[in-house]
Amino acid sequence: MAGLEDLYREIILDHYRSPRNRGELPTPPAHKTEGFNPLCGDEVVVYLDVDPATDTVRDIKIAGQGCSISQASTSMMSGAVKGKTVDEARRLIRAFKALMSIHESKLEGEGDGADLAADLEGVRLGDLEALQGVVKFPVRIKCATLAWNTLQQGLDEIAE
Amino acid sequence: MTITTPLDVERIKRDFAILSRDLDGKRLVFLDSAASSQKPESVLAAMDDMYRRHYANVHRGVYRIAEEATAAFEGARAKVARFVGAKSSAEIVFVRNATEAINLVAYSWARANLHAGDAIVLTHMEHHANVVPWQMLAAERDIEIRWIPLTPDYMLDLTKLDETLEGARLLSVSAMSNVLGTINPVRQMVDAAHAHDALALIDACQFVPHVRTDVTEWDADFVAFSAHKMCGPSGIGALWARRELLEAMPPFLGGGEMIRDVRLDGFTTNDVPWKFEAGTPPIVDAVGFGAAVDYLQCLGMDAVRDHEMRLTRYALDALTESFPDTLRIYGPRDVSVRGGAVSFLFDGIHAHDISQVLDEHGVCVRAGHHCAKPLMRQLGVPATSRASFYVYNDEADVDALVAALAMAEQFFAH
């Protein structure tokens, strides 16, 4: 059985206690996107400032409230995409979801091991890998992916 | 004078097989009965026997087991009717759950009787089941929804009740909050509604399993409750309504069973309550519902209430004494006006994380918004943890909760 230490790694608790990039950005020029987890009421707000000239995430701020997993994941996400190009950010989203939802995509027939490997290839997840333990607690996967789904939604909205 | 025999919880625990499950060396401590209760052997046996010996469709066949099935099904309806003080079995409509009961009223009675400009009164402590069906109706018909707020001590603020009911057509209110545990003054509110020519619907989903219920004494118009929270199976519940209302209401779902006659150019409806029971009903679940009522009646609802008041008092005291500075309880402190659902939050620890650590110790509590997001917004919290008690819980379960909470607090403090 998976132990609590698999879920609550020290680095996760650190991001939960001291979240990075917390705050707001003026909209516009920044874009604001809200994400909700209807199961537990967790809320993530992502402010994205994308430089249209370079297609780069110039700045990102996060707000909202929720459990340690959702808030730590949000904090880590903000650090991981800041300064990255939109394409790089999208690759990170795919890689992170692959890390989280191997079982989901297999069930839905969307992908297999090869796709997963492709999603993860060449992407440095760094600290984010600490969240891998979440996979052993299926109920909590949604907590970990909330920030990333919100980021994806934000990037999609900006692209429109 | 009635003499109440205290519950023998040690014996009751043995009626619920699941409670003897071993979770990696830990005892299962089930504190989530407000979400759904566990089922005693007598309910499982009644359902098993029904399938093995008496199963056939009801109200159809003339053969012997069909008669037996019909008698068992209608017998269950009579037991449920008596359990809540209904004047007649015809006033009990079997539905899937309390949610469906409320939707039935919203689709049948309300859509036949409410029009643009009419008002419905709800409260800030309602479950989504008693909010969303009315919001759907309101959006469709341009109907106003008015809200009764809370007092700082988690009761309904009824100081402006009359004003709020002025010109309203329906008051729909929970008898007991699934989050706060608060028991509302149903009779007083029903009287106020009637004084303003409004009908009263009582969401008694949390109340019926725990407190002796008499719908006639309440003088209500509609009462909704579910079997699965009162030792019965999931998938069945009941709408109680005054007979003349049921008779005047248009049918909800159309199909077999709910008709008297069908011709190429139309149909006529069956008598109540079958008018509202289209299609083959959950026959065996109804029998389980009846067996659950038998089980609770055998324990005695006054004894159930006494037991839960005592246990809730013990839990409130234990939580307050063990975590005086870090834990906040959302709900009344006086056990005479509350049930056994105890919501709480730790400073700086999310309910979800608490629940996860408790699970490690075999303790099952609910974490989240409890399908009451408007209430959560009023309380200014995203989620709470909720421990809830029933006939099979005892002081040892509360002690296990407190011990696990202490470990959770320690885990997140380091």
- The per-residue pLDDT for range B132-143, each reduced to its tens digit, is 999 999 999 999
> What percent of chain A shows pLDDT beyond 90?
39
Domain limits, chain B: 9-30+300-413, 37-95+249-299, 98-226
The average pLDDT across B22-42 equals: 95
pLDDT of residue A160: 82
As a whole number, the mean pLDDT across chain A is 83
A chain contacts of residue B373, beta-carbon cutoff 8 Å:
41
pLDDT of residue A120: 62
What is the predicted ipTM?
Answer: 0.74
Within this chain, domains B9-30+300-413 and B37-95+249-299 share the same CATH topology: no
> What percent of chain B shows pLDDT beyond 70?
99
Say whether pLDDT at B193 is over 90.
yes
pLDDT of residue A103: 42
Architecture of domain B9-30+300-413: Alpha-Beta Complex (3.90)
Which of B360, B368, B376 lies nearest to residue A4, judging by beta carbons?
A: B360
Say whether pLDDT at A155 is over 60.
yes
In angstroms, the CA B131 to CA A28 distance is 35
The average pLDDT across B381-386 equals: 91
Q: How confident is the model at residue A119 (pLDDT cuts 50, 70, 90)?
A: low
CB contact under 8 A, B352 and A43: no
pLDDT of residue A123: 65
CB B391 within 8 A of CB B304: yes
A chain contacts of residue B368, beta-carbon cutoff 8 Å:
39-41
pLDDT of residue A137: 84
pLDDT of residue B38: 98
Task: Tell me which residue of B15, B28, B6, B31 sits closest to B398, measured CA to CA.
Answer: B31
Chain A, 104-123: which have a CB under 8 Å from a chain B CB?
A: none
Model confidence pLDDT, tens digit, residues B227-255: 999 999 999 999 999 999 999 999 999 99
Q: How confident is the model at residue A97 (pLDDT cuts 50, 70, 90)?
A: confident
- Write out the two tokens for A116: 């997963």
pLDDT of residue A136: 82
Helix axes B41-49, B283-299, angle to 10 degrees: 150
CB contact under 8 A, A4 and B368: no
Model confidence pLDDT, tens digit, residues B108-140: 999 999 999 999 999 999 999 999 999 999 999
> What percent of chain B shows pLDDT beyond 90?
91
pLDDT of residue B254: 94
A39 touches B at CB < 8 Å: yes
The residue of chain B with its CA nearest to that of A43 is B382
CB A46 within 8 A of CB A25: no
Say whether pLDDT at B414 is over 70.
no
Q: How confident is the model at residue A107 (pLDDT cuts 50, 70, 90)?
A: very low
pLDDT of residue A114: 54
Say whether pLDDT at B217 is over 60.
yes
Q: In Å, how far is B413's CA from the nearest CA of chain A?
A: 10
CB B226 within 8 A of CB B102: no
* Local structure of residue B303 (DSSP, 8 states): H
Say whether pLDDT at B264 is over 60.
yes
In angstroms, the CA B16 to CA B244 distance is 40
Q: For an interface test with B, give the residue of A37, A40, A146 to mutate (most B CBs within 10 A).
A: A40
Instruction: Let me know if A160 is exposed, middle or buried by CB neighbors in 10 A (0-12, 13-18, 19+).
Output: exposed
Say whether pLDDT at A109 is over 50.
no
pLDDT of residue B1: 47
Q: In Å, how far is B376's CA from the nearest CA of chain A?
A: 9
Q: How confident is the model at residue A2 (pLDDT cuts 50, 70, 90)?
A: low
CATH number of B98-226: 3.40.640.10
- Write out the two tokens for B391: 């006939």
CB B302 within 8 A of CB B118: no
Say whether pLDDT at B378 is over 80.
yes
Q: How confident is the model at residue A75 (pLDDT cuts 50, 70, 90)?
A: very high
Q: How confident is the model at residue B307 (pLDDT cuts 50, 70, 90)?
A: very high
Say whether pLDDT at A105 is over 50.
no
Domain limits, chain A: 4-159
Helix (H, G, I), strand (E, B) or coil at B414: coil
A chain contacts of residue B24, beta-carbon cutoff 8 Å:
1
Q: How confident is the model at residue B406 (pLDDT cuts 50, 70, 90)?
A: very high
Residue for token digits 């069908």?
B262
Say whether pLDDT at A118 is over 90.
no
Does B37-95+249-299 carry CATH code 2.30.29.30?
A: no
Residues B223, B226, B229, B233, Cα dihedral to 10°: 150
As a whole number, the mean pLDDT across chain B is 95
Q: In Å, how far is B365's CA from the nearest CA of chain A?
A: 13
A49 touches B at CB < 8 Å: no
Architecture of domain A4-159: Alpha-Beta Complex (3.90)
pLDDT of residue B327: 96
CB contact under 8 A, A1 and B357: no
Which of B368, B411, B412 lies nearest to residue A40, judging by beta carbons?
A: B368
Which of B353, B368, B383 lies nearest to residue A68, judging by beta carbons?
A: B353
Which residues, 6 or more positions from B294, have their beta carbon under 8 angstroms from its beta carbon? B42, B79
Q: Taking the CA atoms of B369, B210, B236 and B289 in sequence, report the sign of the dihedral they define.
A: positive
B371 annotated active-site: yes
CB contact under 8 A, B352 and A1: no
